[in-house]
Structure 1
Amino acid sequence: MNKQIIEYIQSMAAEIHFSGSVFVKQGDKILADCSFGLANRSEMMTNVSDTKFGIASGSKLFTAIAICQLVEEGRVSYHSLLGDCLNLFFPHFSQEISIHQLLTHTSGIPDYFDEEVMEDYEELWINKPMYHVRGPEDLLPFFQNERMKHSPGSEFHYNNAGFILLGLIIEQVSGMSFTDYVEKNIFQRVGLDAGYFETDRLPSKTALGYIDQSDGSWKTNIFSLPAKGGPDGGAYTTACGMIQLWEALTEGRLLDKKTVQQLLTPHTMVDDSTAYGYGIWMKTENHAVTKYILMGYDPGVNFRAAFHKHSSLSISVCSNQSGGAFEMIKGIESEVMKEITS
């Protein structure tokens, strides 16, 4: 452990009233493993290093890995078309949508939660209660009959619905439910303490998510999210677990090295220095990747992980509040880089 880094994290956590866990590793050396705040405020149960947190869209990487596994097995290809591998009817969708486009948010399909149209994720559950959403097929009514947003492959538009379709493809091709497939072929394979838990039956050592109000009151997020996460997000794991997952991926324990390279390639540029691969963000300089990023936000959930390519620095931050992870990881990166360069 690095005393200076830990003291910085403790100071930062106090300053921003952070609730969650932080895990920092460089190469084989653990620099920090810290937890703060309460996993259950009513019962005064503290967050600890093996507390599991929701990671929202951070778990899109699991969906991408699952698709890549099926590609390795020859059961689908990145160029397979949606209509050829999913027996569902989408009356207004293009016939040219490919798995590659779904993975890279370039399919052009409408999203069930479009941040350009809707600001509050909780608005989704006004007409369809969240407790009915326990599988990817339950989200189809939100977008199945809508019109295309733009033509396939023409531009990047972050899209949760595309990953719902990827999850349905995984189910149809594998003959397993999406969550069963991921738990068996990813979590269990690397011994990851993770799962797609239902919000009304969370297991022990799992943090409740909290939404803090401006008047100082709070509520849990149980009525703000689908009852069970799926292909577009909503898995639970520990802060150290995401670094464990990253190491398993990059060491070739989930996919072969060529497939890992395909997953981590910057397939589409989002802006001058930000790219997207398969289920993962990347920072680039002079067209070369410098850092891989996972992020997730839901009401009462905030997650960030950063994997620096050249310094072997890995940071994972899980919060059971709606914010804090970005500020925490940005500060840690700055502090660690000072030590590296000093």
Structure 2
Amino acid sequence: MRKELEEIVSEVQREVNFSGTILVKKENDILMDKSFGYANCSDKLENNSETRFGIASGCKLFTAIAICQLIQNGKLSFEDRIKDVLDYEFAHFDDSVTVHHLLTHTSGIPDYFDEDEMDDFEELWVKHPMYALRELKDFLPLFQQEKMKCTPGEKFHYNNAGFIVLGLILQQVSNMKFQDYIEEFVFKKAGMNWSGYFAFDLLPSNVAQGYIDNKDGTWRTNIYSLPVIGGSDGGAYVTAGDMARLWEALVNEELLDKKYTELLLKKHVSVNEDSYYGYGVWIREGSLPKYHVMGYDPGVSFHSGYYQESSITMVVCSNKSDGAFEIMRAIEEEIK
């Protein structure tokens, strides 16, 4: 399979000009560990297996794990309402919105980036400069005074603001900064030694710059397209190996006990015919069932999944706005 994977992925890489790192593992057996493109185009620094990539919304799973840890430890419950566990005021929010609603994108609260109404993430920064967003509370003016989109529990509607609220709840309940909590109780416990929430103006070594392709064939970095530092709705940096370790720690019940691992991975809401959402994780049934996460930002595309029947873990990190999906789909065709 290794040779076939190499050939298939190389062909797709040429077609879509993929830049990033791909890791495919079956338990402890590495089926593929391959990198393409540059982490820094200006200095021609190549991506490698230790490169740290932004994963956008891929890290909503980290937030969900952390919230479930607090619930497992008796500090919170899925039925707790926002109004009872958070000191911030939300003028038009329904009083019945719970932690469960937020975790499953069924809260109905307004989003700060609603994909039904906006196409370009960069539109957000016209009125709210990205360099001013350094803490979770800095996102509140983007949605705090807006009206509900629908009744809580009525339907699934992907919502970034809901995970910002979850992060604020985590900070209040744990009395820790969100990023510090995740690094201590998720990354360290999973052995993710190279991952973190890094500020654009304080990046460590071996971090991939995110690149946006312009229509004229030139490119630009994404430093003016995203908040300064990631938070509870997205923006962490991981290596492909660290993300694989996250899946291993999760399914082996090293981050949560059996009860809460099963609750996190439970199909809580139907999204479409064979796709469901758990707590911070997508769940697909059909011919190739998997738990998976994904993330897209300007200069970021990311897909990662754990395939239950084969015990295969796949991680596709890219420092360009697209390409990860095509690579993932090609690999899935081979491992069916």
Deviations 1:47-92 (A, max 9, x none): 0001000000000000000000000110000111111100111111
Structure 1 consecutive aligned stretches of length 4 or more whose deviation exceeds 4 Å: none
- Give the match's secondary structure for 1:194: coil
What are the within-5 Å matches in structure 2 for residues 18-33 of structure 1? 18-33=18-33
Q: Which residue of 1 aligns with 2:164?
A: 164
Q: 1:329 to 1:285 in 2, by over 3 A?
A: closer
Q: Matches of 2:124 and 2:160 in 1, distance apart?
A: 13
> Are 2:38 and 1:38 aligned?
yes
1:27 to partner: Cα distance? 2.5
Q: Matches of 1:200 and 1:216 in 2, distance apart?
A: 27
1:189 to partner: Cα distance? 1.8
1:306 to partner: Cα distance? 2.0
Say if 2:22 and 2:316, in contact at 8 Å, map to a contact too: yes
TM-score, length of structure 2 as denominator length:
0.98
1:219 to partner: Cα distance? 0.3
What are the within-5 Å matches in structure 2 for residues 5-20 of structure 1? 5-20=5-20
- Give the match's secondary structure for 1:200: helix
Q: Matches of 1:284 and 1:10 in 2, distance apart?
A: 28
Q: Which residue of 2 aligns with 1:332?
A: 331
Identity of aligned residues (%): 53
Greater Cα offset, 194-203 or 316-325: 194-203
Q: Which amino acid aligns with 2:306?
A: F
Q: Matches of 2:175 and 2:253 in 1, distance apart?
A: 25
Q: Matches of 1:153 and 1:15 in 2, distance apart?
A: 42
Deviations 1:292-324 (A, max 9, x none): 111000000000012111111211100000000
Q: Matches of 2:157 and 2:12 in 1, distance apart?
A: 33
1:9 to partner: Cα distance? 1.8
> Are 2:298 and 1:306 aligned?
no
Q: Which amino acid aligns with 1:5?
A: L
Q: Which residue of 2 aligns with 1:246?
A: 247
- Give the match's secondary structure for 1:195: coil
Q: Which residue of 2 aligns with 1:98?
A: 98
Q: Which residue of 2 aligns with 1:55?
A: 55
Q: Which residue of 1 aligns with 2:214?
A: 213
Q: Which residue of 2 aligns with 1:266?
A: 267
Q: Which residue of 2 aligns with 1:191?
A: 191
1:10 to partner: Cα distance? 2.2
1:214 to partner: Cα distance? 1.2
Q: Matches of 1:278 and 1:45 in 2, distance apart?
A: 37
Deviations 1:185-234 (A, max 9, x none): 11112220200001122111000000001110110000000000100000
Deviations 1:8-57 (A, max 9, x none): 22222122211000000112211000000000001110000010000000
Say if 2:212 and 2:320, in contact at 8 Å, map to a contact too: yes
- Give the match's secondary structure for 2:217: coil
What are the within-5 Å matches in structure 2 for residues 54-93 of structure 1? 54-93=54-93
Q: Which amino acid aligns with 2:13?
A: A
- Give the match's secondary structure for 2:229: coil
1:240 to partner: Cα distance? 2.0
Q: Which residue of 2 aligns with 1:145?
A: 145
- Give the match's secondary structure for 1:78: coil
Q: Which amino acid aligns with 1:178?
A: F
How many matched pairs? 335
TM-score, length of structure 1 as denominator length:
0.96
Q: Which residue of 1 aligns with 2:2?
A: 2
Q: Matches of 2:175 and 2:110 in 1, distance apart?
A: 26
Q: Matches of 2:138 and 2:295 in 1, distance apart?
A: 21
- Give the match's secondary structure for 1:188: helix
Q: Matches of 1:27 and 1:229 in 2, distance apart?
A: 30
Q: CA RMSD for the aligned pairs?
A: 1.2
Q: Which residue of 2 aligns with 1:132?
A: 132
